Every structure is written in structure tokens, then in C-alpha cells.
Structure 1
Amino acid sequence: MGVLRVSLGCFIFFLVMFLTTCFTSKLYDVRNEWHSSWWILKFLMSIIFTVIPFFVPSDYIQLYGEFARVGAGVFLILQLISVIEFITWWNNYWMPDERKKQSCSLGLFMSTVCYIASICGIFVMYVLYASKTSCILNIFFISWTAILLVVMMAVSLHSKVNRGLLSSGIMASYVVFLCWSAIRSEPATQKCSSQQQNNAHGGWTTVIGFLIAICAIVMATFSTGIDSQTFQFRKDKVQSEDDVPYKYGFFHLVFSLGAMYFAMLFISWNLDGLPRKWSIDVGWASTWVKIVNEWFAATIYLWKLILPVVRQTKVMDHEETEQQMDNSTSV
């Protein structure tokens, strides 16, 4: 309940920032100064909003926990889209095209490293988490991840898609990491979990790893917040010099959703019971959230590869239909 109360305070603070900056478009706007300065006032506001939820009845906090599950899921979707857009940009930057005859040696090297790391990760997970035939669920998770790797590579190398190996290699490493993280979140009481053999220092290892993950999530939240152009419906708008560099409202909205996601990590997505000591982000709820996140990431990436081909096919069919109508009219 304490975690949810702190999360609620952070959510309210960023929600207020969202409401006060959501329509900021110019640098000379007063709301631009409110977003970029007034740090002492905003620091006091954050403290006040963090303290207020501790006076709210527990029933309302429990209701916020249910709402936070949905918000955390939305945050994961936004983060996935931002990560995939970054992977696409990286692939376009390092791989050559017909107009730019630049070297692709670094891109090929990075794709090779990513695929080797992904294959090694699959092999290590089989050895550590699926060495017994009774570990059916882990075998399914790892095997399906391996299938996703093959499918992503095959689609990206298809003649109609032709996106190369770099983007699919980075995505392969990402989905393997998500699979490993999901299996690591399985309860330590399970016979297929290697955490049950950990010594007393395993708890500190879990906390240190979790702190590193928190830093990574903070960076991902910040990068997603300033990546508002990815989520715009119209991307052909020309930006002038006095326009804001990114959408301030969207930035604070992402951080408000990120506050919900942090809460779900600390309570392992479980609102019904208390987690075990040193068991941060551990439980079947956390495991399935990460597995679904992995499958959803692969689905979005594959759809992003196939979408241009589908659009091109529809355009060609439309042009052929118009041409046939013109021919029939002329006859």
C-alpha cells in the first residue's frame, strides 16, 4: 500500500504537469517557462502530492492499483513502439541504401554480434531453466522465442521487405532479454527456477540488478517522453525555430504512466498479497506480463516490416482498377 501511495503522488504530480503544459507549442509561451524552470516550486509540489495519498483511505488506493495496472500496460506499449522506432532509425543509419554508397561493415558486424548473442542466450536459457523435461512451460517460452527469432529474420530478408539483418538482430537480442527476464521472475519455489539455489547474497544481487533495471527504465521513460514525433498522426508538419523541441504534455503523460509501471514492478503486479523478502518483480504475474510484452514486441516489429508491402500492394491494386475503368470508359 505504501508503494501505491507514493506512486499515486507521483502520478498526480505528472498529471498536473500534463494538464498545464499539454498545448504548449511555442518557446515564448509562458507554459514553456513553467516546464523548463520553477524547480523549487515543482519540488515542493512533488513533496505535497507524495504526502497527500497517505491520508487517503485504503479502498481508494486499492482502486488506484487496479487503474495503475492498465496505465502500466499502456506505458509498456508506448515504450515498445519507441524502442522499435529507435531500432529502425539505427538500421537506416548504419545500413547503406542506393543513394548513399556508404560502408555497411559496422552494420553487418553489429547484426552478427546481436545474432550470436541471441543464439547464446537461447542456449544458456535451455541449460539453466529447461534442463528437465518437466519444465514444460520454460521449454515453451524459450522455444517460442527461438521461433520468433527465425520468423523475424526470414521476414526481414524477404525480397519484398528487404530490410537487412541489423534491425532483426537487435530485435532478436531484445526479445531474448525479455524472455530471460520473464523466466527470472518466476517464483523461487518452482523446481525449474535457479533462484532457489541462491545463497544469502542472492537477495543483494536481485536488488542491485533491479536498481540497474530502474536506471534503464528511467532512461527509456525519458527517451519515450521526448520521442513525441513517433506518436503523431501527421508527421509532415514543418517545424519552425520558435516551436518547442518536443511535446511537453506527452512527456509528462509518459512519466505519469511510468510512475504506475514502477509501482507494478515493486509489488510484482500483485495487488492481493505481500511479496516475499528480496523478491522484487518476482511472481507469476510479472512473468506473464513480460512474456506477453515479448510477444507483443515481436508482433509490432513484424507488422512494421509487413505494413509497407501491404500498402504498396493496395496502391498497385487501386491503380490497376482505375486503369481498367479508364480503358472500359474509353471503349
Structure 2
Amino acid sequence: MAAGKLKHLCRLACCADVMRCCEFSPGVAKWAYLTCFGLTAIATWILRDYSSNGLSYISGLSSCKSEATTENQDRCYGKGAVLRLSFGNFLFFTVHFLALLGVTRKGDWRMWLHSGCWPLQLLGWAALLGMTFALPAHVFVVWAQIARVLSGFFLILQILILLEFVYILNEWLLDRVDQWWAKSGLVVLSIGCYVIVIGIVVVTYIFYAPHGSCSLNIFFITFTLILAVILTIFSVTKWRPEAAGLLTSGCMLAYMAYLLWSALTTEPAPSTCIRSLGTGANGIKVMGFVLAIAATLYATMNSSMASHTFSLSPDPESLAETNPDDSDRLPYRLDFFHLAYMLASAYLAMLFTGWSLNNVPGYFSVDDGWASVWVKMASQWMCALLYGWTLIAPLLLRNRQF
């Protein structure tokens, strides 16, 4: 009864004549959530870098006034804003995740919470974000540690989404390999990915390992190169899965090379192992900032792609196609979709604070510091491990279907 009244209240808020503007299809709702999440990411960046004067009036951030220098005070205010906005996002998507657990059909009455009632949803979202600024600072000491753990799961999710996309792309092109454009696409994309890998390895050796004493950087770069050789060799052997090949390896290695470059560029300066990039350094910093945010948004947008990977039931889309009675099934798991945004909310906190939480990166910086370096390299090794497993799993587990 209470649920029915709440749903009726939501519909009244939309008004009968504009009802269709308040209810979206599941596909359109994905874009709506992405847009709003992207806007909160931009707001987080603005509050972190440009709003210290206004944040100084918030009682929950009063402890920042005890910092010794103005620069440290500004960074303290920025960190406080980042943690609060990320926590507000996390609460919003947690409510949706819990409310939508097990929803698989369009006819489920809980669907309105995901794709409808947008005026009230946006109002509630804004209220949660604002409410976090009234909470005491010790709440966010705990939240920061929780966000660290959850961010690790988000990084794994990011890799799994990329893996699935790469295999889907490769299979799609292989199915059309008798057509010239598909064959050309396979060749061009594969070569392009390996050119990127080689280019990044060469550039990082030049700018981040200028002399023999830079042993850690040399290890990072050389180990990346070794992994690239091993994965490439295995992807062209007769034991490889049919869906794997040079394109899948090239794409994954390009991502691993990007993680290497990103890790090395976030090492604290000054350092004798970082050769000056001159005026190009600011451009690289801005590009890294944009790429980091774009990668986060891409992963959250495509989280529904990987939902059936974690499900014991068949893929909803394929099930609907093979069984007309299941046409009412949703194209993706709503609870998994909001779970991905929960993890992304935690990851944004780490992205904008550099994981260590002791200091906050400067303008247009994300993931700066040694903690970020090790997180990115660990992500690269996890990426190699997961991709390597997809190559050898069919060989080791012959009775399983992949």
C-alpha cells in the first residue's frame, strides 16, 4: 500500500500532460544517469580546484583552518568537497541498488524508481549531495577507507568491461572477414594498437628512464614489454581460443601501455627520473585528466554489458530473442547497473584525491602520487592476468564453455 501511494505521488509530481517527459525507457535512463553522474564529476573538480573560499564557510570543513599554509588549507577544503560529493553519489545509487534488487522485468512495479519520477529523483539526488556537507569530518575518514576498497573492485570491473568489448569487436569483424572492410579493419586496428604500444614504451624509456639509476621505472617499462611479448605469442598459437587474436591482444596491450604511461606521469615531481617535457607537460596533464574522467564514464555507461558475466542466468537479451514469453525481460540488470555506479562513486573519490588521501593533486591533476603509481601498475598486472586467463582457460578447462 505504501509503495503504491509513493508511486502515485511520483506520478502526480510529473503531471498528466508531461508524463512522458518524466518516464524514460531503460535505454534512455542509462544516458540520463550518465549525464547526471558526469555533471557531479565536473562539480567535484570545480569544488576541489576553484571553490576553497566558499567552502571555508562550511562548518564541517572548519578543521581545515588549522592547516599551516594557505595552500594546504585549500587542498584540505578540496579533499573535503571530493569526499562529500562522492559519498552523496554513493548513497543515491545504494538506495537504487537495494530497491531494485532482483528486478528483471519491465512490468515490475519498482521499475519507476529507475526510469521514472525524474523530478523527485533529481531533487532527492541534490538533497543527498547537499546533506553530506552537514556531516562531521570523522564520517569521511571512514568513508575514505571504504572508498579505497570499493575503488579496487571498480578497476577490476573496468578491465572486465574492456575485455568483453574487445572480444565482441573481434568476433564481429571475424564473422564478416570475407568482406574487404572487415578484413582491413582487423589489420589496421591490430597494427595501430601495436604501434601505440611500441610508441609508449619507447617514449617512456626516453623520458622516464633517462639513466640506469631509475631502476623502478626501468622495471615497470621492461616488465610491460615482457608481458606484451608473452601475451602476443600466446594469442597466435594453435592453443588460443577462436575468439582471440592479434586484435584482442593489441587492444589489451594498448590499454596496459596507457596504464604504464599514466602511472609514470603521476610520479611525484621533482625527480631525476622524469625528464622535463617543457610546455607540453601541462597539455599531458589536461589530457590525462580528460582521459581518466572519460574512462570512468565509459565504464559506468557500459556496466550493463558485463552484467550477465556475473549472473548465473542466461543473458536477458538473448533469452528474450529465443523465448517470446520472456520479451518483457529488461535488456540489463538494474541492480548491477546501480552497483557499478556505487563503485564508480567511490572511485571518483580516489581519482580526485590521489588514493593516498594525505594530499590532494593540483589543478587539472588526478591520481598524482606514489599511491596512484602503484594502483595503476597493479591494475596493469591484473589486466594482464585476466586477459591471460581468457587465453588459457579454454585449454585448461576443456569441459567448460566460454
TM-score range, shorter chain: 0.7 to 0.9
Tell me: CA distance 1:235–1:140, structure 2 relative to 1, closer, same or farther (3 Å). Answer: same
- Give the aligned partner of residue 268 of structure 2: 187
Deviation, structure 1 residue 105: 3.1
Tell me: CA distance 1:101–1:256, structure 2 relative to 1, closer, same or farther (3 Å). Answer: same
- Give the aligned partner of residue 321 of structure 1: none
Tell me: CA distance 1:176–1:155, structure 2 relative to 1, closer, same or farther (3 Å). Answer: same
Provide Cα deviations, 1:124-158, integer angstroms capped at 9, x if missing partner: 11111112112111111110110111011111111
Task: Provide the TM-score with structure 1 as the length reference.
Answer: 0.87
Q: Equivalent pairs: percent with the same residue?
A: 37
Structure 1 unmatched ranges of 5 or more: 316-331
Structure 2 unmatched ranges of 5 or more: 1-79, 321-325
Contact map agreement 2:231 2:388 (CA 8 A) in 1:
yes
Further displaced range: 214-223 or 138-147: 214-223
1:282 aligns with 2:368: yes
1:257 aligns with 2:343: yes
Deviation, structure 1 residue 277: 5.3
Aligned with residue 151 of structure 2, among 72, 77, 89: 72
Deviation, structure 1 residue 182: 0.7
Deviation, structure 1 residue 69: 0.3
Further displaced range: 157-166 or 269-278: 269-278
Tell me: CA distance 1:175–1:12, structure 2 relative to 1, closer, same or farther (3 Å). Answer: same
- Paired AA for residue 120 in structure 2: L
- Give the aligned partner of residue 51 of structure 1: 130
1:168 aligns with 2:249: yes
- Paired AA for residue 134 in structure 2: F
Contact map agreement 1:14 1:255 (CA 8 A) in 2:
yes
Deviation, structure 1 residue 67: 0.4
Q: Which has the higher contact order (CA 8 A, sep 6+)?
A: 1
- Give the aligned partner of residue 109 of structure 1: 188
Structure 2 SS opposite 1:229: helix
Deviation, structure 1 residue 206: 2.5
Alpha-carbon distance in structure 1 between the residues aligned to 2:292 and 2:357? 22
Task: Provide the TM-score with structure 2 as the length reference.
Answer: 0.72
Q: Which runs of 4+ in 1 moved over 6 A?
A: none
Alpha-carbon distance in structure 1 between the residues aligned to 2:102 and 2:365? 41
Deviation, structure 1 residue 216: 3.0
**RMSD of equivalent CA atoms:** 2.2
Structure 1 SS opposite 2:397: helix
Provide Cα deviations, 1:49-83, integer angstroms capped at 9, x if missing partner: 11222222212210110000001001111111111
Tell me: CA distance 1:66–1:227, structure 2 relative to 1, closer, same or farther (3 Å). Answer: same
Aligned residue pairs: how many? 310
Structure 1 SS opposite 2:264: helix
Contact map agreement 2:105 2:328 (CA 8 A) in 1:
yes
1:27 aligns with 2:113: no
Alpha-carbon distance in structure 2 between the residues aligned to 1:82 and 1:275? 28
1:298 aligns with 2:377: no
Tell me: CA distance 1:62–1:120, structure 2 relative to 1, closer, same or farther (3 Å). Answer: same
Deviation, structure 1 residue 212: 4.1
- Give the aligned partner of residue 14 of structure 2: none
Contact map agreement 1:187 1:193 (CA 8 A) in 2:
no
Deviation, structure 1 residue 274: 4.3
- Paired AA for residue 230 in structure 2: V
Deviation, structure 1 residue 275: 4.0
Contact map agreement 1:227 1:246 (CA 8 A) in 2:
no
- Paired AA for residue 189 in structure 1: P
Deviation, structure 1 residue 47: 1.1
Deviation, structure 1 residue 300: 0.2
